[in-house]
Amino acid sequence: MVGVKPVFWTASLEELKREFDSAGLPAYRAQQVWQWVWQKGIAQPTQMTDLPQSLRQKLEAEWRFPLPRLLHRRSSQDGTQKLLWELPEGGSVESVWIPQRQRFTLCVSSQMGCSFNCRFCATGQMGLERQLKGYEILLQVYGAKFLLGLPITHIVFMGMGEPLLNYSAVMEALTGLTQRMGFSARRITISTVGIPKGIERLAERPERFELAFSLHSAIPEKRQALIPTAAHISLESLRAALAYYCQKRRDWITLEYVLLANINDGPEDVAALRDFVAPPLAAKVNLIEYNPTPGLPFRPSPRLKEFQRALLRRGLIATIRYSRGRDIAAGCGQLARQLVS
Ligand code: SF4
């Protein structure tokens, strides 16, 4: 093979079968390799013991099977684990594994850093270092599952980065998660701070992924102060894109709302949220307990329950997401590759 060897993670089963066919190998051999890699979690051809030696050598010679390297792993008192991965294309990102009774969620990063600069978020203070390749997003799940043996039932794109600003790589990762690793689309949540075109494109996908939109305030000036980079994207255009998503998918979305003391937790904020969640938008509200970040001036609101009750009284569906992994800086908005908590 001439030039750089292709990365195995980007190949589909059909492509692999075609490669094998042109090399005079039967299709079932491609299937065997596929099972080793995607079902048994073995990515070293030398360990694919039921393949002929010549085929193992051929795989080694013609494909690359790069894996992420675990640089750091910290466990929280509540069982949450923060994983720092060195990625094949260079640099590192964090993923967070969150066990909760029978549910095991892996929160993955879609970019190295983030360009959005949400004022309350540690990742936003890093800026954007680079886009991740689709397979590097996928490998965070593959690594947690097969290299570390962690059970995973749900995946959320809520780690570092804005997934819809790395659209094609995220779509490639979603294809890998559903078609190769066997995750149901309903168990995968894509969380966005709001890219109208990306939301509309996502609505066209055949799979039914869960969509979460980070609203944080339904009052335009307040939202703009919290997410200055989103100033050029109006709340109306976002609401229209979200409504399109709901109508197209006949589905509900989730509005994420991090509750900050004396910033977005007053009666006027409840009223604005009530107005925002009106048909054709079908949305439930998820109130997030804020995780304080050193150097940032925000505090968690003591009105979390009260705010929830006010929304419920106005007929909204409102839940609370309490912080997980805060003691190891693995909570929402805390990912900034700190090695110690
Ligand atoms: S909250 Fe999300 S979009 Fe905003 S800076 Fe943090 S990672 Fe980026």
Is the shortest distance between the CB of 118 and ligand 1 below 6 Å?
yes
Residue 322 in any domain: the answer is yes
DSSP state of 317: -
Q: Are 190 and 198 in contact (CB under 8 A)?
A: no
Residues 250 and 134 in one domain: yes
Q: Answer for the pair 289, 259: CB distance below 8 angstroms, yes or no.
A: yes
CB 109 within 8 A of CB 119: no
- Verify cis geometry, omega within 30 degrees of 0, for the bond prior to 220: no
In a domain, residue 213? The reply is: yes
How much of the chain, in percent, has pLDDT values that exceed 90?
85
Do 244 and 155 share a structural domain? yes
* Amino acid 154: pLDDT: 98
**Antiparallel, parallel or unpaired: β 283-289 and 253-259:** parallel
Active-site choice (114, 118, 121, 332): 332
On whether both 80 and 35 belong to a single domain, the answer is no
Whole-number pLDDT of residue 271: 97
Distance CA 140, CA 333 (A): 18
* One domain, residues 159 and 216: yes
pLDDT at 340: 39
pLDDT for 339: 46
Q: Give residue 215's Cα distance to chain centre.
A: 17
Q: 311 in a domain, yes or no?
A: yes
Does 268 reside within a domain? yes
The residues, ordered by sequence, that sit 6+ positions from 320 with a Cβ below 8 Å of its Cβ are 286, 287, 288, 289, 304, 305, 308
Could you report the per-residue pLDDT of 211-238, keeping only the tens digit for each?
999 999 999 999 999 999 888 999 999 9
Q: Are 127 and 94 part of one and the same domain?
A: yes
Q: 20 CA distance to ligand 1 centroid (A)?
A: 43
Distance 12 CA to ligand 1 centre (A): 31
**CA nearest 148: which of 95, 227, 220?**
95
Residue 333 lies in a domain: no
Residues 102 and 151 in one domain: yes
Dist. CA 69–CA 310, nearest whole Å: 46
Contact 170, 207 (CB under 8 A): no
CATH number at residue 104: 3.20.20.70
Q: How far is CA 212 from the centre of its chain?
A: 11
- Whether residue 77 is found in the same domain as residue 213: yes
pLDDT at position 338 is 62
**What's the pLDDT score for residue 326?**
74
Same domain, 47 and 81: no
User: Cα(134)–Cα(170) distance, rounded to whole angstroms?
Assistant: 6
Residue 309 resides in a domain: yes
Sign, CA dihedral 321-327-330-336, equals positive
Active-site annotation holder among 89, 94, 107, 200? 94
CA dist., res. 174 & res. 87, Å (int) = 18
Q: In the prediction, which pLDDT does 323 show?
A: 77
Q: Do β-strands 154-157 and 103-107 pair in parallel, antiparallel, or remain unpaired?
A: parallel
Q: Where are the beta strands (DSSP E) in the chain?
A: 69-75, 81-86, 92-100, 103-107, 111-113, 128-131, 154-157, 188-192, 210-214, 253-259, 283-289, 318-321
Quick check: is 332 catalytic?
A: yes
What is the pLDDT, as a whole number, of residue 322? Answer: 85
Domain count, the chain: 2
Distance 294 CA to ligand 1 centre (A): 16
Q: pLDDT below 70 — which residues of the chain? A: 1-3, 330-332, 337-341
Closest Cα to atom 4 of ligand 1:
118
Residue 48 and residue 73 in one domain: no
Question: Same domain for 31 and 159?
Answer: no
Q: Which two tokens stand for residue 220?
A: 């335009």
User: Which residue segment(s) compose the domain that 249 sits in?
Assistant: 69-328
pLDDT value, residue 2: 44
User: Has residue 170 been placed in a domain?
Assistant: yes
Q: What is the mean pLDDT of the chain?
A: 93
Enumerate the β-bridge partners of residue 157.
Answer: 190
In a domain, 244, yes or no: yes
Q: Where is the domain boundary, 26, 45, 62?
A: 62
| Residue 15 is among the residues annotated as catalytic for this protein | no
Q: Compute the distance between CA of residue 278 and CA of residue 296 in angstroms, rounded to an integer.
A: 33
Q: Which of 62, 79, 102 is the last residue of a domain?
A: 62
Interatomic CA distance for residues 188 and 170, integer angstroms: 12
pLDDT score at 3: 59
In this structure, the answer to whether residues 279 and 300 fall within a common structural domain is yes
Q: Which amino acid is at 43?
A: A
Q: Which atom of ligand 1 is nearest to the CA of 332?
A: 1
Burial of 86 (0-12, 13-18, 19+ CB in 10 A): middle
Per the document, the length of the chain is: 341
- Single out the residue in 47, 62, 77 at which a domain terminates: 62
**CATH number for the domain including 56?**
1.10.150.530
Please indicate, yes or no, whether residues 150 and 235 belong to a single structural domain of this protein.
yes
